[in-house]
Structure 1
């Protein structure tokens, strides 16, 4: 915020590193074109794996020199990481047997026929990232086989409805290839009950993936990592370095709990590159040629370190809570959902009310028409601040089980304060600028809804 953009300032050391990555022009697809960076990537993946899954040191010592074991890879972002996880999940759901070569070789139709399923599906909350729709399309499931489970008043997946849906799919002979848990939804910052989801996935024998592109980084925070309880039971985890680990854009991570699963399900080789017995990482990556972006992540984890990154993450939460309290002091609204219990609170969602609607103390009383006014007011205010102001606040549309008249969705501001250079004065300025534009809109309120 306080800039016309939605990205954070970077540590200064990333600038010369960017020049180095470009100058060296390494290709991490194989060890012959990136020997040092290949080993560096494996080292960083082990460090991240240890943070999440906390295996004994002997476990990692055995894996580091084994060419058929991998803990994941660096990707261009969370979308490719999620797609890679779903690729592994699909192939893992329809494995090779004595008389079937697996879905990898025989394809979707043959796999469903052999295992006597009518279809396959991905299941997660209604706040799943759009990348899972891309994955369903690319992997042959189809968008109709993405099942979105409603969320509760705190925007966590309702596990009672999840179990009901899984039983329904079981009766219909539809194979669920993956259950998606979210560690910080993109829109509101909520965290699913990962521990419960892990147990449900185990009971129904489903691959459990946690999309932690936003919130996964809080595993580094001593103060907030408890909120990720259960993430260690995931089969795979997505993290984005360029979100809260302060790397340049294009630095996602996919981690696998089992060091064998990627090689077992998606390994591809060629005679001139990524050879069978080589240490080439490209054997188990969706992308072929990849830049040495691992250097950015290694630098953040090493130069900032766990203490430095934890401090930055804690600062992001502090600034978010400060803005939430400040906007309440300014009486921008009387009822919104700025902070949810047991969430990481990296997001604030709120709307700016006209004086007339602000007189209502309980927005569950708002009519459908009044919610339309609020949405119009939010959209127009956001547009004007972006075009004419100096501050910037993102927006989204959310549905809420908390308010009965808001089920169709309502436009809200979405604030993510990850930039450590943001000050209280910056935050105060953005809110006061919104109030100014809001007062201008108040004068035009007769044009809201005709």
Structure 2
């Protein structure tokens, strides 16, 4: 795992290389995805079924076999081990409670002219959520995507989840039951995204698609944007852990927090930033020790070698500047007083404050959403939330008397934009 220092003469060059990542920028990949989308748009169910048989090695012979009933979801939940069912229920409740606080309300006010202005908030009618499938699948993704949609008031949530060789994780189905998912189709890949975007004979078209997937899913989401809304084009998972070598720091905790992201994917990113050279050395040693016994050590090691780094900064100010430069998906502040740092942090998807708040808790049950901006997009993006499943309409009601002064203003401005019909339309209201 590379070790860097802000005092290195080529630090900026090394950092830029470390952070460089193109989520979807392969010409052949984009062509393949475009072809799949075109086929689905043209032939619908038959193409979705054929591609599911081909890519997922699924034995289904009809679309009916790729649809799950509400009873199947309920049975999956009922058949869970008691402790697992309790943990899933606890996580769902906490996610729901947090997102209920994000509700936006319709509002209006009357201006000094007697005109009524405002904003109407309306939930989307139907959304699609993409959930990674197979045995290595993520029920937490179901909760994080479906619950905010339901809290927002979305009438129908359609879930797609691939089932390689017909295999499904029952936890994913149980989570769909808890979250109130309305329909589930066991399909995946670019064909699932296309089906959600344009609709087929069996799968209804949606207004927005959210949820993570592989590079084909990401490319397909980008391609259908405009036909439908999407949450984001997500890159590999990232964590930046910041510490200052304080007495209460534990190098083994810090190392494991980094590894918890590294084990996700060979291209996941784990970065440690510290003002203490001694702590940097200690964390490096603990990482090596942990890698000797982690089940996914091979993945984690590749991740750390490919995109990980241990970075020394000379002081807190330099550390905060580096955090904002990186704009990490997950940011852990492993310091005595994390609140003291908040004003200086402008760019991060989620901020985990204090030593007892590992990012792993946020993945499952803290409450805030774990669908977060990656690859530096926290500079301009936010976590997935209720607001992603609602849209706003402006409300404008002019009284007869209140309309006149506004119409005069509009008349003048329209003339200066050389839009005579606009000007006359406004002029009729006051002359």
TM-score (norm 1): 0.28
TM-score (norm 2): 0.29
Instruction: Select the structure of larger CA radius of gyration.
Output: 2
